[in-house]
Amino acid sequence: MLQRHRIPTIFSIYMVDVLCCALGCVVLLWQVNHQEAEERTAAAASSLYDLGKANERIAALAGELEYVRASLDASHKKYLAVSVELDKTKKDRDDHVQLALVRKQEYDLLTKNHRAAEALLARSKLDLKDLQSKSAVTAAQLADQLKAFATAEALILSLKVEVKDLQAKSTLTAAQLLDKLKANAELLAKIAKSEARVVILEKDLDARKLELLLAGKKADDQSAKLKAADLRMSRLDKQLVELTAEAKDALARLKIADLRGKLLEQNADRGQTDLSDAKRRLQLLTADHDALSKRLLLSAKDLADARAQVASLQGERLSLMNRTKNMQAAMENRFAGVTLTGKNVIFLIDMSGSMELLDATIIDPDKWPLVCETLARILRSLTDVQRFQVILFSERIIYPLRNEGRWIDYTGPEMAKDVAAAVKAIKPKGGTDVYAGMAEAFRFRPLGLDTIYFISDGLPGMGEGLPPNAEKLTESQVTEALSKHVRQKLKTDWNRYSAGRPRVRINSIGFFFESPDVGAFLWALSREHDGSFVGMSK
């Protein structure tokens, strides 16, 4: 590599004015947006206050609605209780009616039995009278028979007396005796007839006595039956009195139940009226609730809109604050005037032999470590980086972090130390082939590459782009030709404009450049590709 005379780094006043104007515009824009956000926040707070009032009114109406619903539930429960009591009363009334019917049937049956018993008693009395009359007739006949028997006995006794007299008078004549014997035979015949008749009469008397005894026994049975019938009739009369009293009580209770049922029906009617009123009131409250719900929906929609506006404003405010923070961070994280940006970043680092030399002959042990420290500082300061890769170039291409041709996911600032250590472990050597390094870096453009940090200390000294008569050209002519070729390739091929494909930003960082040509090359490279250039001095 060709060493040039060292010149100082220059910053113009114009660049400082531009930066100050840009910062002032950003601050002014932030203040305007902040004031607008505060106004929208105040409007949102007013909307929230109105929403709170609406919610309070809705809560009050909801309480009233709950009270009405509770009253309606109480009226409904009262109506149900009245209905249950009415049903119970109706059931009791039906039971009493059924009991009264049963009692009436029993009363009718007892009345029928009583009438039957009275008829039986009347018949029994008639039978008793008949038996008594028959007994009286039989007794008279028996008395007559006894009288006749007594007469016959008297006659027999008189005859016996006469026989005795006849026997005593044995002095009677035979004729007289025959007459007496005939008369005695007639008398004996009469006596035999009388005795036979007496036997018959005795038998008849015994039969009459037996009939009289049977009639007496039957009369006693009839009397016992009559007494039992009288006792049963008394019991039936008592039961009839009790049933009559129970029937009267049942009728009274039935009347009371009817009256109570009418009262319950009136209460039920009143309950129905109250229920109808409560339903109408509930309908009115439901209509009010629906209206309030609609208003609440509108208020909720307004609140949602207000919240959305507040969220949007807060989002804008956060975005603005983030942008401000990012701008502040970018201003704070500016590396010697280079704005540190990029999500998908390539660090393209020159590792030619001059990267550890102070000049053509003096080795500087701090130069390459400073390059590695600068790499780590830039990587730590990137606020938006998501993926990155480190490419070292000289006469060859090296990926110190491996993963060739692919991205490395950025996990945090703690990676910077390991990345710097991996690069520091490689010893710089060889020439400067800028073309090969750029070509390798732009292989990542289809993969989303948006920023390149190009770190070098010299001009291109080798690679594609040499003219046919390169051996006849001077060193400065060769570097000029190679530089123009790299810049032209970037414009027309690697980083050309295309629809839907933004250009890659190239930031250049020069280390210990000793020639205006080196600074001009790096500055032009960054200016042509929307980047920044800074020259590092020891």
**CB-CB contact of 96 with 255 (8 Å):** no
SS3 call for 366: coil
The residue ranges of DSSP E strands in 300-407, in sequence order, are 344-350, 387-393, 397-398
User: What's the CA gap between 30 and 19, in Å, rounded?
Assistant: 16
Higher pLDDT, 384 or 173: 384
User: What's the CA gap between 400 and 229, in Å, rounded?
Assistant: 137
pLDDT band at 37 (very low <50, low <70, confident <90, very high): confident
User: What's the CA gap between 76 and 6, in Å, rounded?
Assistant: 103
- Provide the percentage of residues in the chain whose pLDDT is more than 90: 23
User: What's the CA gap between 98 and 105, in Å, rounded?
Assistant: 10
Check pLDDT > 60 for residue 327: no
Q: Which value, in Å, is the radius of gyration of the alpha carbons in the chain? A: 74
| Helix-, strand-, coil-residue percentages of the chain, each rounded to 5 | 75, 10, 20
Check pLDDT > 80 for residue 138: no
- For residue 439, give the nearest of 390, 489, 399 by alpha carbon: 489
* Residue 92: per-residue pLDDT: 67
* Residue 168: per-residue pLDDT: 60
User: Which contiguous run of DSSP H or E holds residue 399?
Assistant: none
SS3 call for 397: strand
DSSP 328-354: HHHHHT-BTTB----SEEEEEEE-SGG
- For residue 508, give the nearest of 521, 490, 495, 497 by alpha carbon: 521
DSSP 253-274: HHHHHHHHHHHHHHHHHHHHHH
Check pLDDT > 50 for residue 523: yes
User: What's the CA gap between 234 and 242, in Å, rounded?
Assistant: 12
**Residue tagged 């790499």 (tokens):** 375
Question: What mean pLDDT do residues 480-502 have?
Answer: 89
User: What's the CA gap between 344 and 449, in Å, rounded?
Assistant: 5
What is the DSSP code (8-state) at residue 445?
Answer: G
* Residue 172: per-residue pLDDT: 47
What are the boundaries of each domain within the chain?
338-536
* Residue 390: per-residue pLDDT: 97
pLDDT band at 149 (very low <50, low <70, confident <90, very high): low
> End-to-end alpha-carbon separation of the chain, Å?
19
254-291, pLDDT tens digit by residue? 677 667 667 666 766 676 776 677 677 777 777 776 77
Highest mean pLDDT among 279-288, 303-312, 367-376: 367-376
pLDDT band at 425 (very low <50, low <70, confident <90, very high): very high
- Kindly report the number of other CB atoms within 10 A of residue 161's CB atom: 10
SS3 call for 58: helix
What angle do helix axes 367-381 and 415-424 make, rounded to 10 degrees?
A: 160
User: What's the CA gap between 347 and 379, in Å, rounded?
Assistant: 9
45-95, pLDDT tens digit by residue? 777 787 777 677 777 767 766 776 776 677 677 767 766 766 776 676 666
Question: What mean pLDDT do residues 494-505 have?
Answer: 88
Mean of per-residue pLDDT scores for the chain: 76
- Kindly report the number of other CB atoms within 10 A of residue 143's CB atom: 10
Question: What mean pLDDT do residues 448-473 have?
Answer: 88
User: What's the CA gap between 434 and 461, in Å, rounded?
Assistant: 8
* Residue 8: per-residue pLDDT: 46
**CB-CB contact of 454 with 426 (8 Å):** no
**CB-CB contact of 385 with 426 (8 Å):** no
Higher pLDDT, 161 or 38: 38
User: What's the CA gap between 492 and 515, in Å, rounded?
Assistant: 27
**CB-CB contact of 458 with 520 (8 Å):** no
pLDDT band at 29 (very low <50, low <70, confident <90, very high): confident
162-178, pLDDT tens digit by residue? 656 655 654 445 566 56
What is the DSSP code (8-state) at residue 472?
Answer: G
* Residue 150: per-residue pLDDT: 67
**CB-CB contact of 355 with 367 (8 Å):** yes
**CB-CB contact of 503 with 448 (8 Å):** no
DSSP 128-139: HHHHHHHHHHHH
* Residue 397: per-residue pLDDT: 95
pLDDT band at 7 (very low <50, low <70, confident <90, very high): very low
Highest mean pLDDT among 131-135, 177-181, 399-403: 399-403
**266 Cβ contact list (under 8 Å, min separation 6):** none
CATH class of 338-536: alpha beta
Higher pLDDT, 209 or 25: 25
DSSP 200-269: HHHHHHHHHHHHHHHHHHHHHHHHHHHHHHHHHHHHHHHHHHHHHHHHHHHHHHHHHHHHHHHHHHHHHH
User: What's the CA gap between 110 and 504, in Å, rounded?
Assistant: 124
- Residue 137's DSSP bridge partners are none
**CB-CB contact of 398 with 425 (8 Å):** no
pLDDT band at 100 (very low <50, low <70, confident <90, very high): low
- For residue 382, give the nearest of 419, 336, 431, 329 by alpha carbon: 329
